[in-house]
Amino acid sequence: MIPRYSRPEMVSIWSPETKFRIWYEIEAHACDAQAELGVIPKESAEAVWKAKDATFDVARIDEIEAVTKHDVIAFLTHLGEIIGPEEARFVHQGMTSSDVLDTCFNVQLVRAADLLLADMDALLEALKTRAFEHKETVCIGRSHGIHAEPVTFGLKMAQAYAEMDRNRNRLLAAREEIATCAISGAVGTFANIDPAVEVHVAAKLGLKPEPVSTQVIPRDRHAMFFAVLGVIASSIERIAVEIRHLQRTEVLEVEEYFSPGQKGSSAMPHKRNPVLTENLTGLARLVRMAVVPAMENVALWHERDISHSSVERNIGPDATVTLDFALARLTSVIAKLVVYPDNMMRNLDQFKGLVHSQRVLLALTQKGVSREDAYRLVQRNAMKVWEHGADFMEELKTDTEVMAVMTEAEIDEKFDLGYHTKNVDAIFQRVFGKS
Amino acid sequence: MIPRYSRPEMVSIWSPETKFRIWYEIEAHACDAQAELGVIPKESAEAVWKAKDATFDVARIDEIEAVTKHDVIAFLTHLGEIIGPEEARFVHQGMTSSDVLDTCFNVQLVRAADLLLADMDALLEALKTRAFEHKETVCIGRSHGIHAEPVTFGLKMAQAYAEMDRNRNRLLAAREEIATCAISGAVGTFANIDPAVEVHVAAKLGLKPEPVSTQVIPRDRHAMFFAVLGVIASSIERIAVEIRHLQRTEVLEVEEYFSPGQKGSSAMPHKRNPVLTENLTGLARLVRMAVVPAMENVALWHERDISHSSVERNIGPDATVTLDFALARLTSVIAKLVVYPDNMMRNLDQFKGLVHSQRVLLALTQKGVSREDAYRLVQRNAMKVWEHGADFMEELKTDTEVMAVMTEAEIDEKFDLGYHTKNVDAIFQRVFGKS
Amino acid sequence: MIPRYSRPEMVSIWSPETKFRIWYEIEAHACDAQAELGVIPKESAEAVWKAKDATFDVARIDEIEAVTKHDVIAFLTHLGEIIGPEEARFVHQGMTSSDVLDTCFNVQLVRAADLLLADMDALLEALKTRAFEHKETVCIGRSHGIHAEPVTFGLKMAQAYAEMDRNRNRLLAAREEIATCAISGAVGTFANIDPAVEVHVAAKLGLKPEPVSTQVIPRDRHAMFFAVLGVIASSIERIAVEIRHLQRTEVLEVEEYFSPGQKGSSAMPHKRNPVLTENLTGLARLVRMAVVPAMENVALWHERDISHSSVERNIGPDATVTLDFALARLTSVIAKLVVYPDNMMRNLDQFKGLVHSQRVLLALTQKGVSREDAYRLVQRNAMKVWEHGADFMEELKTDTEVMAVMTEAEIDEKFDLGYHTKNVDAIFQRVFGKS
Amino acid sequence: MIPRYSRPEMVSIWSPETKFRIWYEIEAHACDAQAELGVIPKESAEAVWKAKDATFDVARIDEIEAVTKHDVIAFLTHLGEIIGPEEARFVHQGMTSSDVLDTCFNVQLVRAADLLLADMDALLEALKTRAFEHKETVCIGRSHGIHAEPVTFGLKMAQAYAEMDRNRNRLLAAREEIATCAISGAVGTFANIDPAVEVHVAAKLGLKPEPVSTQVIPRDRHAMFFAVLGVIASSIERIAVEIRHLQRTEVLEVEEYFSPGQKGSSAMPHKRNPVLTENLTGLARLVRMAVVPAMENVALWHERDISHSSVERNIGPDATVTLDFALARLTSVIAKLVVYPDNMMRNLDQFKGLVHSQRVLLALTQKGVSREDAYRLVQRNAMKVWEHGADFMEELKTDTEVMAVMTEAEIDEKFDLGYHTKNVDAIFQRVFGKS
């Protein structure tokens, strides 16, 4: 996570200020529940809320931690400085540090997920808009980087939309999975604290109680969360690579928006490089690199070891901040993408009519020609186009073996672009519920 | 995937015979739909079913592919050899190879998922049985590998159960995601084939139509599938590492079942090594290594490139076969695990009473001692146990500062193990819906 | 590792037959050394060589292992069946299974490395040949997929050569690192065996003694080995991606060799897809996926655990067989690559002269125009080419601000392609030691 | 990279100030070479050095970049503000941004490598000191976590030393590989700049000229560099895991140094957790996660794309800063590690004499007992120890079948610990060149 690829709202979720605020809320709600159970005095629980509007002094907490070498104790000491040591006496009672740390981390991940879901909504909206805008904008489809048959640019956007919509559902599921709270004590047995405290805190924070914890919330939940971020990043990469390809000099079917004052290169003023989507390709690698360590974090020893902590202190902010930035950047790229329908048609026609060879092949077999013969007939005319720049339709019409089974009109019909787009509405109906 | 870590049922899903059988069914169902639409003659569609009970000759297909360098064409040629070239003429019409390959791959993944789900059911059953058997078997809980507070062995099993149950739900979701069918032609536009064919084939194969495909089914689905396998593998690793720890010579709270004739080592006959769980640790790494390439596979170029294919030819079988083997092995390890409750108690008592220090600390603060003072009092007596092998309870009872606020009976009460297990039933209720 | 992507010589290194042969040699050489030390009778050591020309019966060894559940004991029992149980009595004395297993694995990796080094020699040769063949074949250089300045196709080959040559050196170093032998007993202390045995066996097998082992040879060596394979795979991917780009329909500067009988697609006969380099892209992912588990294998517990074993049984053969296949495939692709110099020139000229804008910019600043002004002048003329298809040279010659500082002849000179290739010889001299 | 796991010297290598300073030096040296070649005026080259002691204003450069959206142009503009726009006119002439960026990145990596090498020297020194200190400190060796045969703690340190020494050599090689400089222009052809400039700048910066570059320095060099960091991290993990195991409550053979004021846990005052080595385990995962994206960075498109840049902006600092911190932390852990030789002996004797079973087995076979019989004899007595706490030596002496071939004195001799340590000197000689 570096400022260059960060947005403030996501960054703020991971600030020390936010973290201490969440710690405070966990402790304060736990005190309420403890007071309700009669474990601690009601006045003590109420006193904790005196810090409700306090700003916690991060530098002061760091200072205390430098001595105690324990972050939660440092925080509690500082809390005592605010609300009075006597009033703070019952705070954290029966709890273990991880109750606070893990519940807080999940709160942060849930908030991060909510931002990411909003990002995805914006991206979906942009993709949908461009999809309908270019529903009928015909361009060549390519397999293996080689011209295949016509598609529309709107279809490309619809594919991206469907993929991102799946990703949205995955993230929603991962958010649900990560939205748990554990206040279960040193080894998860609730020996020193009633499960009711966990239930209360969970409800106040919009979480569910973790059914069974150890000292920590089980890390398979987090592994799943980061795995989903990795899949989303991979989808971003796919769309970015598509745009990079379409912006290649020889293709130039789309271009990233290029603001008037922007300089493309220090030396080559005509260059407009797809630097945003190239950047997204790299950002995808960054998000994805969190997946393996998050999985390695699962196998903690016994009721916990702390090896996961340093990993999460990094990948928690890094993966979410980077993905937030990437989603926003991609949304902007899509929304502003300059599309060149004329270039799309020029490319589609590059090999005069060859794009229709599949239809001709089919027509020949439907006329009773064997698959092998039809293939041979199409291939020999296609090769004239490929090698000598001939026009495919003209060649077919002078091929006596072809003309023996097809009429000119029948051949003409096989070169109709509308044939390829006739089911686009049906596909849009599937993807968007309308066309 | 090597025989040593393979089970036949999962291996057979990935055999050439199974693959060609699925290809055949896709093609035959597609012909039915095409005939229904009037695109091909009904008799031709019916003729395809002549091969219904045929066994496809893998060697022959390989032979043809050596010439054509195209696997689907080779298969179709061989099918023509079985049902007659004339009857075979309409097979595959309007389709592209990927329609067959991708739909087949998803069928295989769905079948693999079904086997894995059955594996997980068996594992869950074994975990549940051992959980209830040892619900009250007290052992020491450990954080950082260091004794913390008592738990029960049944709780450890319940944690594993809850984790695997989450994994089961994840796999179920991944199975749903991967259960799609694409019969959409060369670039996914249904230009040459009616969407109704896809709908028909999907229904026959227990799949859903892919809402929008390119030439291929989008690979984010597969990335998600393999990511889930990676999470499951990580959970297997966690349980395996737990058992390996508990079987350490100095701990010896459990042992993998050791059959009478088995030799532990060529040189040290007393050794009983946790080789199965060590093996599971390695197998987890193998399953997990499919995750990154599956994500790298997402960003195919334009309407498809074939870079994903070699990856999937390997990780498809490898990850599922290995995970199937690992789940079965873990189930057996759990079911047969030899548990030593006496050793558990011996370890728990290793530092005479020190395990109860947390309760004493709490009791002191509840008696009005400040957190800092209570900590100091507990620590100074604990250190005598730690450093000189003293008995914690006895030390407390001779500490005048402690006795100034607590009675002997109160101290005795703090050393009751039942205190730690009182909420085990509540946890079991959460996890298993009963206790 | 699947037959489709395997070559027999590399596969045979990993066969059970080869493995047992190596085990035998280790044991037989160890017996010689033990006899020399007087630890076992000379006749017993000699007797072991009776099996020198024996073929070990893999099925029989498997049968024994099914009972003993120990592979080395099974092998030794079978060896006893060949040379007589009495003679076999002293075999393996003082050794531990890992002495045999680990030394054998390293022998296999060394042999694999030797094959890979030979593969790389062939690849380097092919790259060098094509580099010199196309040393002066001018094509457009591209950054961000956008036309930049001219390069030559030979330079691209030279870059690939230099990169692969570095990889060759890395593999050579990794081979040296992995070429160690450990015969140090159960925990590496040589308690039961003299270090001289290790020295003797190492010398006979072309290895160096491992300076300090535990029960096993330390796995950082293997992690390094597989990491190097991962880097080589990444370089293969780079070259493969370059070719895939150059074969794109709109670019078509090179093509993979397409044999006369080969069918490109079941439906589109004109398509010649870069399927070999797409395949190489996928194979690179497969080789690379061994890197992380090989690193995870390093942290074995204490003097060893066996978690690494299942990983290595897979990635040992898989990564080396796949890389061997990939290197051979890439060599063939390079050697047979069809290069289209005419298309290269056509692409280079796509934006009439714009490729020379950098030179013009430089010339203007050398004439005393400020960097900002020069940039502005070049940009305004370049935009006419870009947007209206104008000819860059002509535009410059009609721009009064430009002509105020430059003559027509000076402008002409800036459009000379030779300017860009003048240092190709110097680069070749650096890379190949000749030009 | 977060402050908690960072050390200032390494962090400063990656500061904007350092980066701009290196950029400046590259540009200034390039101007000298250009002046020497007569390409630019000598006075202009000299004028650049006016900024020699200047501090570059990072905020100002950021401000300019916000407009130009190009970092190198922003820097050059700011340089012009310092030395005068006229004097700055010739700076960067013939160069491309990547000439500056890539050369700078390599300078930073070289400096980082130098710090890491110094870190490793300190770690090696600490390991060596502890190795010699505990050369003869006997402890039990363990395979599979199960007691095997005696080793010494010094041997464990020697193994770590040898492994880290290999890593040092790997890093040295990686440092050499990364120490290259490219000043070759927009596509690496030296079209606009003489190769002599590169040679001059390289020499001044302690680098070698990159033999053949594209627009960028080839990324296989960087992939190798980060792969080596990943291997080093894996070795750190191995040592950390060893210490964590040895500090387990039931083992307690070593302890991380625990400062007097340090609190282990908020609730359990007796706990001394191996938190530093647990932390190192997590940090190893963080360093390792850079390996895959660094390899994915290799396959840049054509003469370059910029996808690698965002990855490197993160993993460059993150991996080196984290590894620097981890090496220093490990050095401190090793140097201060509290070793408990008494506990080591207590653990070694846990199964009264069973540790010597291997020697007895060997003795029996040397007395002429068949391998199978000897195994049976040892096993039956070992089981009495294992299951009933018997004393192995005593059991052997009452086993008539054993006593039929061995005398009591012979049995006594087999229980001598010195037998196991007799070759420790020889191993130290191999590792340290002295013993």
Residue B260: predicted pLDDT? 65
| pLDDT of the residue at B268 | 58
How do beta strands A208-209 and A338-339 pair? unpaired
Q: Assess if residue D228 is contained within a domain.
A: yes
Closest partner residue to C267 (CB to CB) among A147, A268, A358 is A358
Residues of A in contact with B415 (CB under 8 A): none
- Catalytic status, residue C310: no
- Domain-ending residue, one of A59, A93, A127: A93
Q: Which two tokens stand for residue A169?
A: 């559902």
Q: Which chains touch D (3 or more CB pairs under 8 A)?
A: A, B, C
Query: What is the C-alpha separation between A65 and D263, in angstroms, rounded?
Result: 10
Q: Are strands B146-152 and A138-143 parallel, antiparallel or unpaired?
A: unpaired
Residue of B nearest to D372 (CA): B266
Q: Subunits with at least 3 CB pairs below 8 A relative to chain B?
A: A, C, D
Backbone torsion region of residue B143, taken as left when φ is above 0, otherwise alpha when ψ lies between -120 and 50, otherwise beta: beta
- Considering the domain boundaries, does residue D198 fall inside one? no
- Percent of chain D predicted with pLDDT > 70: 97
Across the interface, whether the CB atoms of C310 and B282 are under 8 A apart is answered yes
Given A12, A15, A70, A265, which residue is catalytic? Answer: A265
pLDDT at position A266 over 50: no
pLDDT above 50: residue A267:
no
Whether residue D147 sits in one domain with residue D66: no
Which of C47, C76, C93 is the last residue in one of the domains? C93
Mutant choice from C128, C181, C198, C234 vs D, greatest count of D C-beta within 10 A: C234
CB burial string A10-47: b at 16+ within 10 A, e below: bbebbeeebbbbbbbbbbbbbbbbbbeeebbeeebbeb
- A150 and A3 in a single domain? The answer is no
CB-nearest partner of C271 from A146, A270, A350: A146
pLDDT bracket for residue D267 (50, 70, 90): very low
pTM over 0.90: yes
- Name which of C143, C292, C357 is nearest A270 (Cβ-Cβ): C357
D431 within a domain of the structure (yes/no):
no
| Average pLDDT, rounded, for chain D | 94
The sign one gets for the Cα dihedral C242, C244, C245, C246 is: positive
From the candidates C15, C265, C310, C435, which is the catalytic residue? C265
Report pLDDT for D384: 87
CATH number, domain at A1? 1.10.275.10
Nearest-5° Cα angle at B68, B65 to B69: 65
pLDDT, average across residues A19-40: 97
- The DSSP result for B194-223, as a single string, is -HHHHHHHHHHHT-EE-SS-SSS--THHHH
C227-266 residues labelled b (16+ CB within 10 A) or e (exposed): bbbbbbbbbbbbbbbbbbbbbbbbbbbbbbebeeeeebbb
8 Å CB contact of B271 and D147:
yes
Tens of pLDDT, residues A125-172: 999 999 999 999 999 999 999 999 999 999 999 999 999 999 999 999
* Per-residue confidence (pLDDT) for residue B421, from 0 to 100: 97
Give the residue on D whose Cα is nearest the Cα of C190.
D423
User: Is the Cβ pair C214, D159 closer than 8 Å?
Assistant: yes
> Which chain B residue is nearest to residue A185, measuring alpha carbons?
B149
The mean pLDDT of B267-273, rounded to a whole number, is 66
First CA to last CA distance, chain D: 40
Q: Domain total for chain C?
A: 3
pLDDT digits (tens, 9 = 90+) for A199-210: 999 999 999 999
Owning domain of residue B178 = 95-350+421-435
Question: Which residues of B are tagged catalytic?
Answer: 144, 265
Residue B136 is encoded by which pair of tokens? 């009250």
How many residues appear in chain C?
435
Looking at the fold, whether C335 and C379 belong to one and the same domain comes out as: no
In a domain? residue A208:
no
Active site (catalytic) residues of D:
144, 265
Q: The tokens of B201 are what?
A: 């084939």
Q: Is residue A427 part of a domain?
A: no
Which residue type sits at C333? Answer: V
Is the Cβ pair C273, A143 closer than 8 Å?
A: yes
pLDDT at B267 over 50: no
* Helices (runs of H) and strands (runs of E) counted in chain C: 20, 6
Contact B231 A231 (CB under 8 A): no
Taking CA atoms, what residue in B is nearest to C293?
A: B285
Angstrom distance (rounded) from CA C102 to CA A219: 34
| B266 pLDDT above the threshold of 50 | no
Is residue D245 located within the same domain as residue D372? no
CATH of the domain at D405: 1.10.40.30
Sign of the Cα torsion C311, C313, C315, C318 reads negative
| pLDDT tens by residue, B385-423 | 878 889 999 999 999 999 999 999 999 999 999 999 999
pLDDT for the residue numbered C266: 39
Weakest-pLDDT range from A375-384, B71-80, B388-397, C126-135: A375-384
- Condensed to tens digits (0 to 9), the pLDDT of residues C14-67 reads 999 999 999 999 999 999 999 999 999 999 999 999 999 988 999 999 999 988
Beta bridge partners of A339: A254
* Nearest residue, CB atoms, D93 vs list C167, C212, C362: C362
* Separation between Cα atoms, residue B71 and residue B306, nearest integer Å: 14
Q: Do residue C173 and residue C39 come from a single domain?
A: no
Place D260 in a pLDDT band, splitting at 50, 70 and 90: low
Q: What angle do CA C294, C300, C304 make, to 5 degrees?
A: 125
Which residues of A are less than 8 Å from D244 in CB distance?
Answer: 301, 305
Kindly state the percentage of chain C with pLDDT values over 70.
97
Q: Give the residue with greater pLDDT, B329 vs C262.
A: B329
DSSP string computed for B316-370: HHHHHHHHHHHHHHHHHHHHH-EE-HHHHHHHHTTTTTGGGHHHHHHHHHHTT--
User: Tell me, what CATH number does D228's domain have?
Assistant: 1.20.200.10
Residue C24 backbone phi and psi in degrees, to 5: -60, -45
Beta bridge partners of A139: A151
Q: What is chain A's mean pLDDT, rounded?
A: 94
Same domain, C280 and C175: yes
CA distance A35 to chain D (A): 20
Q: Are residues A83 and A174 both part of a single domain?
A: no
Q: Say if the Cβ atoms of D271 and B142 lie within 8 Å.
A: no
Mean of pLDDT values over A178-207: 96
**In contact, C282 and B306? CB cutoff 8 Å:** yes
What is the per-residue pLDDT across D354-378, written as a single tens digit (0 to 9) for each?
A: 888 888 988 998 899 998 899 889 9
- Say whether both B121 and B169 belong to one domain: yes
Tokens standing for C221? 């060596």
Buried b (16+ CB within 10 A) or exposed e, A333-351: bbeebebbeebbbebbeeb
Residue C360 contacts residue C411 (beta carbons within 8 Å): yes
The secondary structure of B87-142, three-state, reads HHHHCCCCCCHHHHHHHHHHHHHHHHHHHHHHHHHHHHHHHHHHHHHCCCCEEEEE
Tell me how far apart the alpha carbons of residues B34 and B196 are, in angstroms, rounded to a whole number: 9
Burial (CB < 10 A; 0-12, 13-18, 19+), residue C36, is middle
- Residue range D8-15: mean pLDDT, rounded: 98
| CA contacts within 13 A on the Cβ side of C147 | 26
CB distance A69–D263 less than 8 Å? yes
Q: Which secondary-structure segment (H or E) carries B177?
A: helix B153-178
Does residue C136 sit in the same domain as residue C243?
yes
Q: What is the mean pLDDT of chain B?
A: 94
DSSP 3-state percent helix, strand, coil across chain A (nearest 5): 65, 5, 30
State the pLDDT at residue B67: 87
User: Residues in chain C with pLDDT < 50?
Assistant: 265-267
- The set of residues, in sequence order, having a beta carbon less than 8 Å from that of B292 and lying 6+ positions away, is A288, A291, A292, C285, C288, C289, C292, D292
Tokens representing residue A313 in the block: 């202190």
Determine contact, residues B221/B180, Cβ cutoff 8 Å: yes
Tokens of D169: 């050599």
| Residues B274 and B144 occupy one common structural domain | yes
Instruction: Indicate whether A233 and A118 sit together in one domain.
Output: yes
Distance to chain B for C69, nearest Cα, Å: 6
The last residue of one of the domains, among C38, C71, C93, is: C93
The question of whether A234 is a catalytic residue gets the answer no
The token duo for D30 is 């390039």
Strands B208-209 and B180-181, bridge-based pairing: parallel
Contact C143 D299 (CB under 8 A): no
Check if the interface score ipTM surpasses 0.90.
yes
User: Which of D244, D251, D270, D369 to probe by mutation at the B interface, max B CB count within 10 Å?
Assistant: D270
Residues B181 and B258 occupy one common structural domain: yes
